[in-house]
Copies of this chain bind each other. A is one copy, B any other.
């Protein structure tokens, strides 16, 4: 009997997603949570797709500004990347959200401007600078997406590598480094720094 609003629908949808993930959000559950029939939701938001789109927009809107620290350009770009990664990892529902829609690029919009500033500050101009920005963006987004995807399938079998035995004899430290469950932040910073140092050099 209580009237609902497009905003109340989006609010409780957001709450449900943050509680139990996008994969457990259905129109019927949302309607039940609102104490209303399914058709009301369709009247207010139209579709499940536009509902998810609205949720993505909300999450991206509240991602806030990224922090830029460091004195050298490399350190500043690394700090941007790190801030980006932290911001995404702090929002576990975001990955599922943008995985359902195809809006991965929007994930990067706040960083883009900061990256352009740093690249030009480091002396890059024109297409060189543009490619550098895109390369770093792709690396950040790709890394985090992959990282999240891998951690969900952590129950993976040990992936019997037959050649790992012989490798362990030649360079046991290398074999151990490949077997270890990766320290995400360390590998991330290492990769970004390597890429940026090369791009700016």
Contact = CB atoms under 8 A, between A and B. Distances in A.
Interface string A26-57: 00000000000000000000000000000000
Interface in A146-164: 146-147, 149-150, 152-153, 156, 159, 161, 163
Q: How large is the interface on A (under 10, 10 to 19, 20 to 34, 35 or more residues)?
A: 35 or more
A49 to B, nearest CB: 12
A126 B177 CA distance: 7
Interface of A: 99, 101-106, 109, 112-113, 116, 120, 125-127, 129-131, 133-135, 138-139, 141-143, 145-147, 149-150, 152-153, 156, 159, 161, 163, 167, 170-171, 173-178, 180, 182, 186-187, 190-191, 193-195, 197-199, 201
30 contacts: A102-B150, A103-B153, A103-B156, A104-B146, A104-B153, A109-B161, A113-B161, A116-B178, A120-B170, A120-B174, A126-B171, A127-B174, A129-B171, A129-B174, A130-B173, A130-B174, A130-B178, A130-B180, A131-B186, A131-B190, A133-B178, A135-B190, A138-B147, A139-B143, A139-B191, A142-B143, A145-B146, A194-B195, A194-B198, A197-B198
